[in-house]
Chains A and B, each alone.
Chain A
Amino acid sequence: MAGSFDFALAIGGEAGQGIATPGNILTRLFIRRGLYFNAYNAYQSIVRGGHIFLTVRISDEPVYTHGDKLDLLLCLNQDTMNRHLGLMGEGTRAIFNSDSINPGNPRQGVELCPIPVSQVSGSRNRLVQNTIAVGATCALLQLDFTILEDSLKVRFARQGQSVVDENVGVARAGYEYAQQNFTPFPTALPETDQPKAQWAGNDAIAMGAAAAGVKFYAAYPMSPSTGVLHWMAQNARDLGIMVRQVEDEIGVANMVMGAAHAGARAMCSTSGGGFALMTEAVGAAAMMEIPVVLVDVQRAGPSTGVPTKTEQGDLWQTLGASQGDFPRIIVAPTSALDAYNTIPELFNLVDHYQCPGLVLSDLLISEGTFSVVPDDIDMNPAINRGKIITDAGTGNGYQRYKDTEDGISPRALPGTEGYVHVISTDEHDEDGGLISDEYTNPYKRRAMVEKRARKFNDLEGRVASPALVGPADADVTLIGWGSSEGAIREAVEQLAEEGITANRLQVKWIVPFHANAITAVVNAAKKPIIVENNYSGQFYRYLRSETGLTIDSHIRKYDGEPFMPHHIANGVREILAGKADVFVPYQEVNV
């Protein structure tokens, strides 16, 4: 649960109605007051029309999910009213333009807040209803109007004084109308003395790459990963990063590999379909021993799937990416901040091991927007580039793939005098010469397979093992991976309120997999339950293959929307009552 103030508002309308702007004005206003927020945008793959629903949850304490309930509904069209009003409960408010929207029958305790927009604003512009709603929202939250006025001035400064004045005027009209006609919420919007910043998960991924010293970034635009490309493009010149939009994901991954081979830290991002095209490069990077990072922001599949919806469905795709039998590092960050911190850590690993590193984000993390404490963003993480030869050598006896004791062969970058060599995707000898050209020498082949595998012998010890959070003797142990941490965390708190004790284990590193530590947790658990956002239990099947453990209880979701805390809490109740082994919650329209 969040802090003493826990409030959620949602803005709904169709694409093209300008939901992002009021959303952005409000979130910026909240972070200026030092509040935390967590926002999730349920949207469609459509430029105009459809239904878009942005949920913003605000608190004076950190918030880890967009939550379970709504306090305030801002309806920009009739559809939003029809879909969501029925889910609003006691003490909630619904703001809507009474010129064009009919309220229907609200449940008892819901206060309808109709605003005759054209009369109040004196304007026929459709977009004024958004600004009026923002003004009314601030009034309901008992916020001084000057705070909103300052926000609007900053927001519209670049568009000129007349635009600023118009927006301030309209917002004031909405604010005053609400003051006069509606009941404000009983608790005023609080303030803390520590202003926050805001980012989307994709911004965090891009910034993590910049902090890691990435100097080459390439991508083909694909939802929900495109935000990384946008951040990179926006900041490339300031930070000296070469950013390229490439013809396809095959070109992307191979270009990134070329840049990495030449010595730049290089990264790309995509979603599952694009990652499918990149997989040949994953194997090539492993064979040529080039450090690269590829980010897969998962969306619901298979194939083109549901481009704007979330899922944890690409685990096996990353485990099996590219033909052959070879190690790769895979990590699934648990939040935006975790993604930010993980990217530099992963770059140090891939540079050390000279191998591909894969990041499994998903739409929930990547397109969610979150508050962040600026001091938590460490822009100068430790950077370790591994064994790179920098001195001019004699040229005598250098072997790019030298069969060393730890399996790691010092790299010489192209351009370095005295270390000329060839790298190859064919199996090769220590000097890079092709083994297939000499009757596929089985001794050399075996030595090279073992050399590459041996590199990773100490990998598990280099990254943190997942930690059990909560009482050791809890009634249930919730095991999740990646982005579900926030919802599981809050579900544990909900269960505690009704006397069910739960602890939780969130797995972030997929490879290396801390099999012993996880086995110990599962064996000590009274009732282990695995929570994942897919149909077939991809993580469970992987856990079983790595540990031999059998776990009977599962909470799964695969409708395209992320877990809300109560989905998990409901699942625990059903499982404890013996009503289900695999609990699949229904997604309410209220997302």
Chain B
Amino acid sequence: MTTGSAQMTAANFRSGINPDWCPGCGDFGVLNSLQRACAELGLQPHQILTVSGIGCSSNLPGYINAYGAHTLHGRSLAVASGAKLANHDLTVIATGGDGDGYGIGGNHFTHTARRNIDITYIVMNNQIYGLTTGQISPTSRLGMKTKSTPFGNVETPLNPLTQAIMNGATYVARAYSGDIRHTTALIRGAIEHKGFALVDVFSPCVTFNLDNSHDFFKQRVVKLEEQGHDPQDWKSACERAMEWGDTINVGLFFQGNDIETLGQREPVLEKGGPIAHRDLAITDEQRERIVRRMM
């Protein structure tokens, strides 16, 4: 990641398009926090590529002044991985929702974490399918009544934090979008981190999920930083990620600083700059080697 010299503010990262999210939507807080984090890091808009899938939260790339790709449902991490490997000078940030990332994109989530590719992944987790007007998502609580579960959800919600930690993600955090300062700090840490970083953000859907409201989180969230949690402690991170009840932990659960990223393990990326900018021609020496192997 390279940083620009000009003094940046969150306003520099506003695209000029007003979000079409519902008034009170938690996603506003996430967008605001991301813009602040980029400004605090001194990034320039052209250095950033945001990649999203489909859903309310996946509209985010349109609202931030940066390169953006609003791709297919569940595919943000695959597209982001390709872009990052092709041009590792880019700061690549994938954004989306819980249905997009943990449901339809679940396979890519698992494997992107495993690869420890240097991407920041921000999931606006509202525990509901909002854009399709209110059905259960992979993180909806057991028993939740929705249009697709009128008698209550009978499927156990998945835990994105333990899943990410166990699968090899090297920065795993949870935020509540109503706390902009805390969310900004966690996103900033994720972008600075070398490796796959998940920031799962509670981002209440004020229209379709009345269970997990702003009030619900305000009454429950407690910061790990204030509880003496050591994010280097992998086992403790798993345990703290499994706690859910009258209090719900937010903050940095796990950070592994000494684990090589995919880019660091790939000899092809070692020298010569981003592959997207390299000379395309095959040299005479390369040609000779190839033909010799065929004879």
Q: What residues of chain A have their CB less than 8 Å away from a CB belonging to chain B? A: 28, 31-32, 195-199, 203, 207, 210-213, 215-216, 218, 235-244, 246-248, 250-251, 254-266, 280-281, 284, 288, 372, 374, 377, 379-380, 383, 413-426, 432-434, 437
- The answer to whether B82 touches A256 (Cβ under 8 A) is yes
Q: Check A421/B80 contact, CB under 8 A, given A211-B282, A247-B107.
A: no
Q: Which residues of B contact A198 (CB under 8 A)?
A: 294-295
A126: shortest Cβ distance to chain B, in Å?
A: 30
Q: Which residues of A contact B20 (CB under 8 A)?
A: 437
Q: Check A262/B86 contact, CB under 8 A, given A248-B107, A254-B78, A434-B62.
A: yes
Per DSSP, chain A at the interface is mixed
Select one of B70, B86, B266, B269 contacting A258, CB under 8 A: B86
Assembled-state Cα–Cα distance A239/B82 (Å): 18
Assembled-state Cα–Cα distance A195/B294 (Å): 11
Assembled-state Cα–Cα distance A240/B86 (Å): 11
- The answer to whether B78 touches A259 (Cβ under 8 A) is no
Select one of B66, B78, B295 contacting A32, CB under 8 A: B295
Q: Check A416/B46 contact, CB under 8 A, given A235-B290, A238-B286.
A: yes
Assembled-state Cα–Cα distance A216/B87 (Å): 11
Assembled-state Cα–Cα distance A248/B77 (Å): 13
B236: shortest Cβ distance to chain A, in Å?
A: 29
Select one of B49, B59, B70, B72 contacting A414, CB under 8 A: B49
> Can you name 6 A-B residue pairings with CB atoms under 8 Å?
A241-B268, A254-B108, A261-B79, A261-B82, A284-B71, A416-B46
Could you tell me which residues of chain B, from 81 to 114, have a CB within 8 Å of some CB in chain A? Answer: 81-87, 89-90, 107-108, 110-111
* B178 located at the interface, meaning its Cβ lies under 8 Å from any Cβ of chain A in the complex: no
- The answer to whether B81 touches A258 (Cβ under 8 A) is yes
Assembled-state Cα–Cα distance A213/B278 (Å): 9
- The answer to whether A251 touches B111 (Cβ under 8 A) is yes
Assembled-state Cα–Cα distance A379/B226 (Å): 62
Report the nearest B residue to A390, measured CB to CB. Answer: B277
- The answer to whether A280 touches B72 (Cβ under 8 A) is yes
A281: shortest Cβ distance to chain B, in Å?
A: 7
Q: Flag B44-78 by CB within 8 Å of A: 1 or 0 each.
A: 11110101001000010110011111111001001
Q: Check A374/B291 contact, CB under 8 A, given A237-B268, A259-B86, A421-B67.
A: yes
- The answer to whether A415 touches B280 (Cβ under 8 A) is no
12 extra interface residue pairs, beta carbon distance < 8 Å, beyond A254-B72, A265-B280, A380-B281: A238-B290, A239-B282, A242-B85, A255-B78, A255-B81, A261-B82, A264-B276, A284-B75, A383-B281, A414-B90, A416-B46, A420-B67
Q: Which residues of A contact B66 (CB under 8 A)?
A: 420
- Interface residues on chain B, number (Cβ under 8 Å): 58
Q: Flag B250-282 by CB within 8 Å of A: 1 or 0 each.
A: 000000000000000011110010111110111
Q: Check A415/B46 contact, CB under 8 A, given A254-B75, A379-B287, A433-B17.
A: yes
Assembled-state Cα–Cα distance A243/B86 (Å): 11
- The answer to whether B278 touches A422 (Cβ under 8 A) is no
- The answer to whether A247 touches B286 (Cβ under 8 A) is no
Q: Which residues of A contact B70 (CB under 8 A)?
A: 422-426, 434
- The answer to whether A251 touches B108 (Cβ under 8 A) is yes
Q: Which residues of A contact B268 (CB under 8 A)?
A: 236-237, 240-243
Report the nearest B residue to A265, measured CB to CB. Answer: B280
A394: shortest Cβ distance to chain B, in Å?
A: 12
A34: shortest Cβ distance to chain B, in Å?
A: 11
Identify which of B61, B68, B110 gathers the most chain A CB atoms within 10 Å of its CB. Answer: B68
Identify which of B44, B49, B61, B272 gathers the most chain A CB atoms within 10 Å of its CB. Answer: B49
Q: Which residues of A contact B276 (CB under 8 A)?
A: 215, 259, 262-264, 413
Report the nearest B residue to A203, measured CB to CB. Answer: B294
- The answer to whether A255 touches B82 (Cβ under 8 A) is yes
Assembled-state Cα–Cα distance A10/B126 (Å): 64
Report the nearest B residue to A413, measured CB to CB. Answer: B276
Assembled-state Cα–Cα distance A284/B107 (Å): 19
Assembled-state Cα–Cα distance A104/B171 (Å): 70
Select one of A215, A266, A433 contacting B278, CB under 8 A: A215
Identify which of A211, A414, A425 gathers the most chain B CB atoms within 10 Å of its CB. Answer: A414
A502: shortest Cβ distance to chain B, in Å?
A: 34
Assembled-state Cα–Cα distance A463/B291 (Å): 28
- The answer to whether A258 touches B280 (Cβ under 8 A) is no
Assembled-state Cα–Cα distance A82/B269 (Å): 54
Assembled-state Cα–Cα distance A424/B62 (Å): 9
Q: Which residues of B contact A434 (CB under 8 A)?
A: 59, 62, 70
A4: shortest Cβ distance to chain B, in Å?
A: 24
Q: Which residues of B contact A432 (CB under 8 A)?
A: 62, 68
B251: shortest Cβ distance to chain A, in Å?
A: 30
A251: shortest Cβ distance to chain B, in Å?
A: 4
Report the nearest B residue to A292, measured CB to CB. Answer: B82
Q: Flag B186-201 by CB within 8 Å of A: 1 or 0 each.
A: 0000000000000000
